[in-house]
């Protein structure tokens, strides 16, 4: 799913901002590929990193047409990049901290041994579109997850901290949750 043009990216340690109108603010622990597009339009993979796709899982279930809308949220990745090939079997942990205690924790799996598609296949289907091969662009391609606290009935709250870790990636990715203030948008005629 398209997460935006880069303005939605949040640094490790920075707050993931959930819109005031959101019905959910849930983590998605994933591995992401980092790519740079060369002067000739060729994509170059820099490496792989931990990521939190962060989505609204309640909205996505209302109607399948809302699935894309549910993904228009911040995302975070890092703090370290694994250079080289992705290990075939990645085992990590996703947890939510509340008031200094672990509220929820579950393992997650990634790597091609645990995926339905190869990295090469996913890369091919992303970069076959010329719009995604503009010289100088940077892409962060998140490869999916099967682990969600939402599936276990967890409702996150402002002040919770998401933490995603896997030993192959060094330091964990941590981001606190904040809720944006409501914004009234009025469209004006030219």
Domain residues of the chain, as ranges? 9-179
Instruction: Considering the domain delimited by 9-179, tell me its CATH architecture.
Output: Alpha-Beta Complex (3.90)
Give pTM, 2 decimals: 0.93
Res 4: pLDDT: 78
Helix (H) / strand (E) containing 49: strand 43-52
Average pLDDT, the chain: 95
Residue 24 pLDDT > 90? yes
pLDDT confidence bin for 1, thresholds 50/70/90: confident
Q: Is it the case that residue 126 has pLDDT exceeding 90?
A: yes
The confidence score (pLDDT) of residue 129 equals: 97
d(CA 7, CA 9): 6
pLDDT digits (tens, 9 = 90+) for 33-83: 999 999 999 999 999 999 999 998 989 889 888 888 888 899 999 999 999
The reported pLDDT for the residue numbered 115 is 94
**Dihedral of CA 125/131/135/139: which sign?**
negative
Q: Kindly give the pairing relationship between strand 90-98 and strand 16-18.
A: unpaired
Residue 5 pLDDT grade (very low, low, confident, very high; cuts 50, 70, 90): confident
Check residue 63 and give its pLDDT. 86
Predicted pLDDT at 146: 87
Please determine, for residue 188, whether its predicted confidence score (pLDDT) is greater than 80: yes
Read off the pLDDT of each residue in 85-89 and give the average, rounded to a whole number.
Answer: 96
Once rounded to an integer, what is the mean pLDDT over residues 5-27? 95
pLDDT of residue 10: 97
Please tell me the predicted confidence (pLDDT) of residue 64. 84
- For residues 111-130, average pLDDT: 96
């Amino acid at each position: 799913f398209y997460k935006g043009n880069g303005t939605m990216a949040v640094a490790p340690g920075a707050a993931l901002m959930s819109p005031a109108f959101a019905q959910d603010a849930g983590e998605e622990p994933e591995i992401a590929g980092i790519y740079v597009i060369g002067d000739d339009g060729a994509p170059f993979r820099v490496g792989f990193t931990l990521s939190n796709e962060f989505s609204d899982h309640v909205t996505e279930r209302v109607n399948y047409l809302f699935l894309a809308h549910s993904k228009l949220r911040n995302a975070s990745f890092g703090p370290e990049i694994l250079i080289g090939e992705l290990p075939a079997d990645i085992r990590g942990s996703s947890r939510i901290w509340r008031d200094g205690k672990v509220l929820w924790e579950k393992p997650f799996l990634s790597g091609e041994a645990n995926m339905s598609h190869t990295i090469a296949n996913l890369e091919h289907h992303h970069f076959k579109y010329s719009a995604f091969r503009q010289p100088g662009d940077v892409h962060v391609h998140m490869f999916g997850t099967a682990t969600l606290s939402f599936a276990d009935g967890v409702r996150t709250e402002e002040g919770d901290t998401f933490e995603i870790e896997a030993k192959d990636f060094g330091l964990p990715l941590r981001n606190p949750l904040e809720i944006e203030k409501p914004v009234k948008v009025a469209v004006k005629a030219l």
